Structure 1
Amino acid sequence: MDKHLRTKQPKTNPIVAYSSSASEEVSSLEWEAVKMNQDEEDLVYRMHKLVGDRWDLIAGRIPGRTAEEIERFWVMKYGN
């Protein structure tokens, strides 16, 4: 094999790669409580009982809410 055709690959340090991904911080917005009115809470509860963790489907029934908001509300209120 011709030595001139080989390219040197930089070595990756698995410890550095792990520590950089492990040190990512969670935004405080992610842990902010989602405030919903009673009608929204009731709908989320009933929809979850019917369809489970299909947050996109549930959010589609509540104008102005995202799947992430619905999931965060559920986890903070019911823990699962």
Structure 2
Amino acid sequence: MIAVYDVEEKRVAKMLKLFRQYLNWIQNSVFEGELTEAQLLKLENSIKKIIDSETDSVIIFKFRDQKWADKKIIGKEKNSTSNFI
């Protein structure tokens, strides 16, 4: 999965800390990795406790199969990961 968020500055540190517990940091507010359905549900519930649903946004892209996802980096890779979905 790939997750991205856009939250007000005062919530950025909390979101970063939360997402790093579950996924690999790629670059500013972007994370990737694999989660079980239970882990995803727990993450989603934690997100809802942090964000202001009127101003903040979190988008989660789920891939059903690894063969449908390719990763290509152009320019500097901010944080190298070897276990991309």
Structure 1 length normalisation: TM-score? 0.30
Which fold has the larger relative contact order, with Cα–Cα distance below 8 Å and residues 6 or more apart in sequence?
2
Q: Specify which structure has the higher proportion of helix.
A: 1
Q: Specify which structure has the higher proportion of strand.
A: 2
Which protein has the larger Cα radius of gyration, Structure 1 or Structure 2?
1
Structure 2 length normalisation: TM-score? 0.29
